[in-house]
Amino acid sequence: MPADTLGPASRVPPDSPALRRVQAGDLCAGCGGCASIAPDKLRMALVEPGFLRPVQSAPLSPVEEDTIAAICPGLGQRVEDAGRTPSVLWGPYLEMQTGWATDPDLRFAGSSGGALSMLLCHLLETGAVDGVIQTAAAPQLSIGNGTVLSTRSEGVLAAAGSRYAPSAPLEGLHARLTASPAQRFAFVGKPCDVAALRALQEQDPGLAARVPVLLSFFCAGVPSLRGGLEVLAALEAPYQDTVAFRYRGNGWPGYATATLADGTTRQMSYHDSWGRILSRHVQHRCKICADGTGTAADLVCADAWEADEKGYPLFDEQEGVSLIVARTVKGQQILAAAQAAGRLETAPFDPTILAAIQPGQRERRRALLARLAGLRVCGRPVPDYRGLTLKAAAAQNPLGRNLRNFFGMIRRSLRRKPGRPRLFTLPSGSSHD
Ligand SMILES: Cc1cc2nc3c(=O)[nH]c(=O)nc-3n(C[C@H](O)[C@H](O)[C@H](O)COP(=O)(O)OP(=O)(O)OC[C@H]3O[C@@H](n4cnc5c(N)ncnc54)[C@H](O)[C@@H]3O)c2cc1C
Ligand code: SF4
Ligand code: SF4
């Protein structure tokens, strides 16, 4: 088989109407939810320019088709306030605080204050769950990700830190649960991963009992592996010689760090790695994401950046501080218990400053309605968002900015049509499947 094809059994485009719509609109977020539902018919493959996408090899049953249509975040998402504090930009919540892990190793290793990892350690150490399904560096692909099951705090520490690369933590979920029938798990994923899992749980209450805690983080988008390779190139770190790669963490915000086979390291600031390179490689679905803040999770962590006198976030290296958002009563109880156990130190947070310290999230939410309208005008499929306050967010934008986003999306959409997926190829010439 030539290195850049998806294999003889692959159905490209897919037979599945749901997946065909996703592919036609380039709407896949790469969560792996569909592959978890029909693992013998769908697998996640790395396709150019380095995103995880489902590849179909056999027809889906009507039940599989309906389930995918109901849970795929590329097709849509639904959010309900359900008595919580509503928020146009940030989604419904019960409580927001800032905080950090009292364990200094976890605080240092985490992307911001290690709060998310500390909450996971708390869940494991109190026996609330038997394991954590989360994302860590892939063993064979230094710039890529793999899904891991952490059953001890050491595993959580090893997986701490944001990895700005594709992850599909839902792929293999059902197989994992079947393999450990008596165990309960916490799940960490991007907001879209968690939205898909929450929707799956609505269809299957047994799944809610097996995975009782869902955690997420604010998410500006997933860059392709070509973006990761561009960071390596800027660091003059040849891919073949790079044995380990950290996107962030080990400090706040922490440096993008390549470790070479000879033991030397090359580093780049977060401002340069994310701001100048990775953010330009983000997938299309992320540019029209209505939920970069994890509305479906019990608990969400983010960077509690400090702001300068003009309100812009500061990226100077310092001791990490996470924003912690409890979205459910369960999340609130876990947060309170971790505080009481001395695992987290916290401070009150004023939600009115969030728009200033998260400008990327703010602007994307405000621009979303105009971007979706631009895509609709071009006849491109868009996700069906319900309860995500698109109009109220757009009303916070001046008309001129909405028009710029509307016409900008039309221009981009006319320039770039989704093509036939090709397997991702590494610089060594080997394809990675
Ligand atoms: C793609 C991406 C975009 C982000 N965008 C923003 C943003 O716009 N604003 C913001 O404030 N924060 C953003 N973050 C989150 C932020 O970097 C921190 O994760 C957050 O501040 C929590 O820090 P922490 O120290 O509490 O978490 P940590 O203790 O570092 O824990 C991080 C957790 O995230 C998991 N994880 C890491 N990478 C991935 C991945 N690719 N897919 C799934 N799970 C992963 C790890 O398994 C770990 O459990 C983003 C993170 C990612 C991965
Ligand atoms: S977004 Fe998730 S469920 Fe939808 S097609 Fe992509 S991987 Fe499958
Ligand atoms: S920006 Fe939205 S769609 Fe993209 S990875 Fe993050 S949560 Fe998923």
Residue nearest atom 8 of ligand 2, based on CA coordinates: 34
47, burial (CB in 10 Å: exposed 0-12, middle 13-18, buried 19+): buried
Instruction: Give yes or no for residue 121 CB within 6 A of ligand 1.
Output: no
Rounded-to-integer distance, Cα 195 and Cα 125, Å: 26
Share of the chain above pLDDT 70, in %: 97
**Are the C-beta atoms of 46 and 225 separated by less than 8 Å?**
yes
Instruction: Give yes or no for residue 54 CB within 6 A of ligand 2.
Output: yes
What's the confidence (pLDDT) of residue 381? 97
Task: Write down the pTM of the prediction.
Answer: 0.97
What's the confidence (pLDDT) of residue 4? 53
Instruction: Give yes or no for residue 169 CB within 6 A of ligand 3.
Output: no
Atom of ligand 2 nearest to the CA of 27: 1
Average pLDDT of the chain, as a whole number: 95
169 confidence band (pLDDT: 50, 70, 90): very high
DSSP 304: -
Residue nearest atom 3 of ligand 3, based on CA coordinates: 286
12 confidence band (pLDDT: 50, 70, 90): confident
Residue nearest atom 6 of ligand 2, based on CA coordinates: 28
Q: What is the DSSP string of 345-397?
A: EEEE--GGGHHHH-HHHHHHHHHHHHHHHHHHHTT----EEESS-HHHHHTTS
pLDDT one-digit tens code per residue, 213-239: 999 999 999 999 999 999 999 999 999
What's the average model confidence in pLDDT over 298-315?
A: 86
Residue among 162, 218, 300 whose CB has most ligand 1 atoms within 8 A, to mutate: 162
Angle between helices 62-71 and 191-203 (to 10 degrees): 130
**What is the Å distance from ligand 3's center to 283 Cα?**
9
User: Which helix (DSSP H) or strand (DSSP E) does residue 20 occupy?
Assistant: helix 17-24
Two structure tokens written together for 305: 């950046």
Closest ligand, as measured to the CA of 44: 2
Predicted confidence (pLDDT) at residue 433 exceeds the cutoff of 60? no
Mean pLDDT is lowest, of 125-134, 299-308, 324-333, for 299-308
**Are the C-beta atoms of 409 and 371 separated by less than 8 Å?**
yes
Atom of ligand 3 nearest to the CA of 222: 5
**What is the Å distance from ligand 1's center to 113 Cα?**
11
Instruction: Give yes or no for residue 321 CB within 6 A of ligand 1.
Output: no
**Bridging pattern class, strands 299-303 and 95-101:** unpaired
3 confidence band (pLDDT: 50, 70, 90): very low
What's the average model confidence in pLDDT over 74-97?
A: 98
What's the average model confidence in pLDDT over 96-120?
A: 98
Residue nearest atom 8 of ligand 3, based on CA coordinates: 192
Atom of ligand 3 nearest to the CA of 289: 2
Instruction: Give yes or no for residue 192 CB within 6 A of ligand 3.
Output: yes
Atom of ligand 2 nearest to the CA of 44: 7
What's the confidence (pLDDT) of residue 10? 85
Residue nearest atom 5 of ligand 2, based on CA coordinates: 28
**What is the Å distance from ligand 1's center to 362 Cα?**
18
Atom of ligand 3 nearest to the CA of 221: 1
What's the confidence (pLDDT) of residue 389? 97
**What is the Å distance from ligand 2's center to 421 Cα?**
15
Closest ligand, as measured to the CA of 60: 2
Predicted confidence (pLDDT) at residue 315 exceeds the cutoff of 90? no
**Bridging pattern class, strands 51-56 and 185-188:** unpaired
**Are the C-beta atoms of 285 and 28 separated by less than 8 Å?**
yes
Instruction: Give yes or no for residue 30 CB within 6 A of ligand 2.
Output: yes
Instruction: Give yes or no for residue 289 CB within 6 A of ligand 2.
Output: no
Mean pLDDT is lowest, of 371-380, 397-406, 412-421, for 412-421
What's the confidence (pLDDT) of residue 307? 80
